[in-house]
Amino acid sequence: MPEGRIYSPGHAVAVAGFGGGSRQVLTALAVLIPSMLAVGLFVYVFVAWTGVISLTTSRFAPDYTFVGLSQYFKLWANDRWITSVANLGIFSLLFIGLTVGAGLVLAIFLDQRIRAENAIRTIYLYPMAISFIVTGIAWKWLLTPDLGIEKLVRSWGFADFKFDWIVDPRMAIYTIVIAAFWQSAGFVMAIFLAALRGVDSEIIKAARIDGASLPEIYRSIVIPMVRPAFLSVIVILLYQALRSFDLVVALTNGGPGFASDLPTTFMFKYTFGRSQLAQGAASAIMITMTVAAVMIPYLYSELRHERRR
Amino acid sequence: MRSRRYRKCSAIIAAAVAVPALAIAATTKELEVMHLWTSGGEAAALQVLKDAVEKEGITWVDSAIAGDGGRTQQQALQARFAAGNPPASALAPGQLVLEYYAQDSLGDLTAVGTAENWDELIAPALQPFAKADGKWVAVPFNMHRENNAYYNKAILDENGGKVPETWDEFLAYLDKVKQGGKVIPLALGGDDWQETEIFSNILIGQAGVDFYKKAIMGLDKEALGSDHMIKALETFRKVLSYADANRPGRDWALATGMVMRGEAAVQFQGDWAVGDFTKADKKPGVDYVCASAPGNRSSFVFVTDFMAMFEQPTEETRANQEVLARLIMDRDVQEQFNIKKGSIPARLDVKPDHFNDCAKQAFADRDAAIKEGSLLPSLVESVAVPNDAKAAIIDVIHALANDASMSPQDAAAQFVENLEAL
């Protein structure tokens, strides 16, 4: 999950600075400056450039005729954008809810020191190793009625069986939830399992002696103790949901119609498929601002935490 | 000690910067060609040109970018252009040639064009996309015909054996096939462009060539919201109701396969579908029938690949571009290229003798269309209108095709609204 890492040059400088002399600081800076410059240019300068473009009339190529915020008004008057934002809401809520729930349950089951734990853990974690494109295409085949699950169940004799969500505009967005959930649940399980293993077994033993049942122990002691893991998992999943793109492209490509578009696919289609660079830029800025609204409080609390330590 | 280390460091950095710069500077006689032709027939067609270019002593630098029906290549080209590093030559649909020209980025091929008499040899309907302000800036390869229908011959024979000539007859045919209950009447995929091809065929076949010119090519809002349009949209709805429910997400070639295997009766598609029939050893007139879409007999909706030549800094590369341009329009290259590609030549003086039966029909239809002024640019493939206007129309078609709650009246109103919002 390399994309899931939160890159923060400030972190590394602070760590390198600890306990060393000024020479180490210099070395640290020398090592970091190239990547900081690269990130500064390729991330922040381009974010700023996208912001500038979103204020212009650019169509096929950049055109610096400024029109204020009118691209944003146009964006929010566009049904396709509204649909994609609503889809993002549905998708994020269900995806995060299901994945966190299932990941936690799986982790608790695995935490019971069962046999063949390693093998089972690998199986659950395995989908994470597959790229979203592959997941998308595999699920597309599974979900296509005349090819996948529906056909299989019908061939077993259930002639009326119906599972056609992927071709139903009202249900298509839920197929993306299914595929994304399948891909990420094992990863969430691994994080929770690590957190559960970090809980001091003495506390659990003490609770046992006091007569608490296993569900009670998990509900009142263990789960509250792994709260930091919840925060990490939710932030990672939320940000994964916000930037979902390849999965949608491979699974439904936004269809049927525009029923399963997300803001990211909207942005891509408008920028590259339709020569509406400024509209695409405005939607990209909206996505960036949404990500920032999630990430900034998270980073802030993390950094404050670190300083206190 | 430290300073030496730093010096070493800076030498490495300098080398890292300098090496790619050297590599760029050390160009030989070579020419980059960005294209999307990687599948069997396409690659074989391109090889004809490549051989001709290399015979002239120019090294062909291949930038093949396949995917998404050419859109991936267009995106890559747009990105490289925005980064200030366009390839020397790249494939582009007609409207994008004009966009790049408007950005002042295309070179001038007028010297070759005049010497080779392109004014006479290239169909007048193509010239507005290759020639701007009196200068030749791009070269057309071919003319694909978009408004075709491919019928499964056995199913056609079972249901009367006569190719429908009007949309009413066509609907009756679909209905008859449906009554038979054995096969899916209409083979169709889920892409917006597949739906829009059908819509544009209906518009031409039902409302007429002049209406197409006014409403689509002219983006006339009155025409777009008119009763003719609503009627065409109603027919479109009816036609689409004969496709199966599982079409979303289906690739066009899979739909072609359904016609081949007799699972579906008919498909509308550009003549690139002929390549698939041929590959599967299916013969025109025996296994399948290639016909024009109902009411489209005397009109020819063309899809043309243009090679756009981007302005180059060195005289040598410009000379190479001129060689490439001349070879693309060379009579033998045009003939061999188009036989392999499944299209017909952009150059009007190539004889149809060596082409297959479907292509021969296309030659004849094109001649008729030139006479009647019904050689029409394709909406779907970015020839008729710029990308943003095209998207404004296709969005509505795609919504109407997939959203049962939308009425044809809503759709016609939506055309106007979308175009006004641009």
In sign, the C-alpha dihedral spanning B171, B176, B179, B182 is: negative
The mean pLDDT value for A274-282 works out to 90
Tell me, what's the pLDDT at B152?
A: 96
Question: pLDDT grade, residue A75 (50/70/90)?
Answer: very high
Chain A residues touching residue B103 (CB < 8 angstroms): 60-61
Tell me, what's the pLDDT at A2?
A: 42
CATH 1.10.3720.10 in chain A, residue ranges: 73-308
Please return the burial class of B409, using the count of CB atoms within 10 Å of its CB with bins 0-12, 13-18 and 19+: middle
Question: Could you state, in order of their start, the residue ranges of all structural domains in chain B?
Answer: 29-144+303-362, 145-302+374-421
Tell me, what's the pLDDT at A269?
A: 87
- In angstroms, what CA-CA distances link B4 with A294, B17, B22, B356? 46, 20, 26, 73
Q: Which residue has the higher pLDDT, B73 or A21?
A: B73
The closest CB to that of B421, out of A74, A257, A258, belongs to: A74
**What pLDDT, in 10s, does the model give residues A83-104?**
999 999 999 999 999 999 999 9
Which among A167, A175, A248, A268 is the top mutation candidate for probing chain B, defined by the most B β-carbons within 10 Å of its own β-carbon? A167
The proportion of chain A whose per-residue pLDDT surpasses 70, expressed as a percent, equals: 92
For residue B245, give the chain A residue with the closest CA. Answer: A167
Average pLDDT, chain A: 86
The closest CB to that of B190, out of A30, A255, A276, belongs to: A255
The closest CB to that of B249, out of A62, A77, A255, belongs to: A255
On whether any CB of chain A is under 8 Å from the CB of B67, the answer is no
Across the interface, whether the CB atoms of A275 and B395 are under 8 A apart is answered no
The lowest-confidence range among A6-20, A66-80, B68-82 is A6-20
Question: pLDDT grade, residue A306 (50/70/90)?
Answer: low
Name the residue among B52, B100, B90 with its Cα closest to residue B323: B52
CATH class of B29-144+303-362: alpha beta
Query: What's the N-to-C CA distance of chain A in angstroms?
Result: 27
Tell me, what's the pLDDT at B300?
A: 94
Residues whose CB falls within 8 Å of the CB of residue B45, separated by 6 or more in sequence, listed in order: B37, B336, B337, B338, B340, B341
HSE, CB side, 13 Å, CA atoms: give it for residue B381: 24
DSSP sequence for B94-137:
HHHHHHHHHTT-B---HHHHHHTTHHHHB-TTTHHHHEETTEE-
CA angle, A73 then A77 then A79, to 5°: 145
Chain B residues touching residue A257 (CB < 8 angstroms): 398-399, 401-403
Question: pLDDT grade, residue A16 (50/70/90)?
Answer: very low
pLDDT surpasses 80 at A21 = no
Across the interface, whether the CB atoms of A164 and B245 are under 8 A apart is answered yes
Distance between CA A255 and CA A247 in Å, rounded? 13
pLDDT surpasses 80 at A14 = no
Question: pLDDT grade, residue A9 (50/70/90)?
Answer: very low
Highest mean pLDDT (candidates A4-8, A225-229, B359-363): B359-363
Query: Which pair of structure tokens corresponds to residue A27?
Result: 């070395």
Name the residue among B71, B117, B133, B113 with its Cα closest to residue B96: B71
Tell me, what's the pLDDT at A20?
A: 53
CATH class of A73-308: mainly alpha
On whether any CB of chain B is under 8 Å from the CB of A162, the answer is no
On whether any CB of chain A is under 8 Å from the CB of B98, the answer is no
Options 3.90.1150.10, 3.50.50.60, 3.40.190.10, 2.40.10.220; which CATH number does B145-302+374-421 get? Answer: 3.40.190.10
The mean pLDDT value for A217-237 works out to 88
pLDDT surpasses 70 at A113 = yes
What stretches in chain B show pLDDT beneath 70? 1-28
Which among A272, A276, A277, A279 is the top mutation candidate for probing chain B, defined by the most B β-carbons within 10 Å of its own β-carbon? A272
Across the interface, whether the CB atoms of B249 and A259 are under 8 A apart is answered no
Alpha carbon of B109: minimum distance to chain A alpha carbons (Å): 23
Which residues 181-240 of A are in CB contact (within 8 Å) with B?
none
- Give the gyration radius of chain A's Cα atoms: 23
**What pLDDT, in 10s, does the model give residues A117-167?**
888 888 888 888 889 999 999 999 999 888 889 989 999 988 888 888 988
Tell me, what's the pLDDT at B268?
A: 96
For residue B402, give the chain A residue with the closest CA. Answer: A257
Complex ipTM, two decimals?
A: 0.71
Tell me, what's the pLDDT at B19?
A: 46
* A vs B: CB pairs below 8 A: 78
The answer to whether A75 and A81 are in contact (CB under 8 A) is yes
Chain B residues touching residue A169 (CB < 8 angstroms): 402-403
